Structure 1
């Protein structure tokens, strides 16, 4: 089957949604399907370099064809314009490409069937008008999929629609966990947007250093104005391969995020055998406290410092969490997740 994986806005965003699209596309290709990626637009990349860039940034084995509704780079997120373009042009493009089914990430008005929509989390507050429009759009899809049980509850509560839960895909063969004695005293924080609360991680490390721990925090993400402090290193917009090498050689991932639908970086850390210290925003189905990570039910930096201190002092605890993480994350293998989507596709055809 020819399967379109759709990104509502920009296929050039470096985020979990495009990571999902890339790995699901490759997983579907390995099952014998023909995936194509369709997006409203792109930016900061030359059009003739887009497919090669996408392959490299997501560490794919082969090129995936990419089509965009807009022929030139775009700026901004004009939602009415985006919705209108999908309504007037989206279906035509899919039919021209001979697509059999569409998997849509970010609900759009699309005159094409069959179509499956994937909800990656609800982070916006809806007006009554937007709620009515969103509910109407969702009910026009053949199947709704949520990336976690947490998102399923949110979708039911906010949009009053039901969805099935299918997890995010992780390409496990990309990860090469270092042994405990090979790792540096590095804690990694990924994400510089305010919702990721990097200031909490920074203060937690400052507390640990004041306690006498020779530990360094490495913050990864888009450039931003965060304080330059001893023991804090910033690696802005680094390649995916470098990020994974960093994670696989670190002592811990810290994620004091205010909202997470499932959390790709948590799964990636687990695939590295790197214990995670996360906020209660990360779903409990992903991090079970004391089994495959440590949950912190506050946004107090001292609580995160205390959790990290346990990992730095207790090698037995570290090894237990690492082993359990590696076993737990195996269920998210991208080939297994792609098979789940392939089964759903056959049900809606």
Structure 2
């Protein structure tokens, strides 16, 4: 089967959508399917191999890279997809198109057309109108969480019969599981973009080290001026904070399995399935996160703590400290985290997509 995976923007970015795209790419190719990745642009294929652990990816860029975001540049990109992107799809002639985000695909493109909706961020004015019509050019919309499925239906006035819930996935076999005794008394925060809410992690950490002064905080993600500013403000605890920057997939797996708890205070409009939480659970690492993480994944008092985004950093830190100190609780949460991760394994999720493909084909 020929499968075209698509993303409007770059598939090099270190974010959850690209993590999902490359996990799906790897599992489909391992099952013998021919996969292509169409992307807005691609400047460095080697970085994809390094950060997403992909061998010889089949990438087809659609348009040139634009330094600045603007409606004008976005319009140029849409035209590129309608011209060059459509030509590429006709040349490839895929059996299935899986778009990540609303990419314009005309009816003339044959095969099953599916679009994956990962979130409802930044949908205002022209962007909303564009998405409203672009999503309707697909046969099905995949919503990755229960909350997102219902919100998508209301937000876009979309027929529920054409929305299917299938989560993002992860290859759980690639992750390392360590016991509590083999881990460092440390927390982990992944991501330095605004929505990752690093400032709240720092506030939580300030309370944690008052009770447990030897605790460390590891930060993974791109270096930014905002991050440097935050680090300067945390000068009094700088010896406890370790900024690792952008790391390879192999290094990330090592770090996740070496800490006791991952902190995920991300803020999203509608709860999402977080790759950071998935990766943590695949290593048996419990998570303290906000209710921006879907209850499909993070379950309070089961595989971590799912806190209200309105809870104070002090209250969240008390739960974090409890998890760091109570070894029996940590072990139970860790076992439950591993159990949860299995439901999101690449093979399980790929089978759901293949089941959909076959059901449509048989009809």
Shorter-chain TM range is over 0.9
Say if 1:143 and 1:348, in contact at 8 Å, map to a contact too: no
| Counterpart pick for 1:90 among 64, 72, 85 | 85
Distance, in Å, in 1 between the alignment partners of 2:18 and 2:173 is 19
1:279 aligns with 2:290: yes
What is aligned with 2:246? 237
Match of 1:227, SS state, is helix
Q: How does 1:162-181 map to 2 (within 5 A)?
A: 162=160, 163-181=163-181
| Counterpart pick for 1:326 among 309, 316, 338 | 338
1:336 aligns with 2:348: yes
What is aligned with 2:17? 17
C-alpha spacing 1:212/1:147, structure 2 compared with 1 (3 Å): closer
Say if 1:221 and 1:235, in contact at 8 Å, map to a contact too: yes
User: Cα deviations across residues 176-226 of structure 1 (Å, max 9, x unaligned)?
Assistant: 111111100110011111211111111211112122431011111111222
What is aligned with 1:108? 103
Match of 1:9, SS state, is coil
Match of 2:86, SS state, is helix
Q: How does 1:1-349 map to 2 (within 5 A)?
A: 1-43=1-43, 45=44, 50=45, 52-60=46-54, 62-70=55-63, 73-77=65-69, 78-111=73-106, 112-113=109-110, 114-127=112-125, 129-161=126-158, 162=160, 163-224=163-224, 225=228, 226-228=230-232, 229=235, 230=237, 231-259=240-268, 260-297=271-308, 298-349=310-361
Distance, in Å, in 2 between the alignment partners of 1:73 and 1:250 is 37
Distance, in Å, in 2 between the alignment partners of 1:32 and 1:271 is 25
Q: TM-score under structure 1 normalisation?
A: 0.93
C-alpha spacing 1:126/1:74, structure 2 compared with 1 (3 Å): closer
Say if 2:189 and 2:262, in contact at 8 Å, map to a contact too: yes
Structure 1 stretches (4+) deviating beyond 6 angstroms?
Answer: none
Q: CA deviation at 1:118?
A: 0.4
Distance, in Å, in 1 between the alignment partners of 2:345 and 2:49 is 19
Larger deviation: 311-320 or 290-299?
290-299
Distance, in Å, in 2 between the alignment partners of 1:203 and 1:181 is 27
Q: CA deviation at 1:337?
A: 1.1
User: Cα deviations across residues 11-41 of structure 1 (Å, max 9, x unaligned)?
Assistant: 2111111111111011111222111111121
Say if 1:10 and 1:41, in contact at 8 Å, map to a contact too: yes
Q: CA deviation at 1:74?
A: 4.2
Distance, in Å, in 1 between the alignment partners of 2:277 and 2:18 is 16
Q: TM-score under structure 2 normalisation?
A: 0.89
Say if 2:117 and 2:143, in contact at 8 Å, map to a contact too: yes
Aligned residues: 340
Give the RMSD, CA atoms, in angstroms: 1.6
User: Cα deviations across residues 35-89 of structure 1 (Å, max 9, x unaligned)?
Assistant: 111112123x2xxxx1x442332123x323111113x554334221111111122
Q: CA deviation at 1:104?
A: 0.4
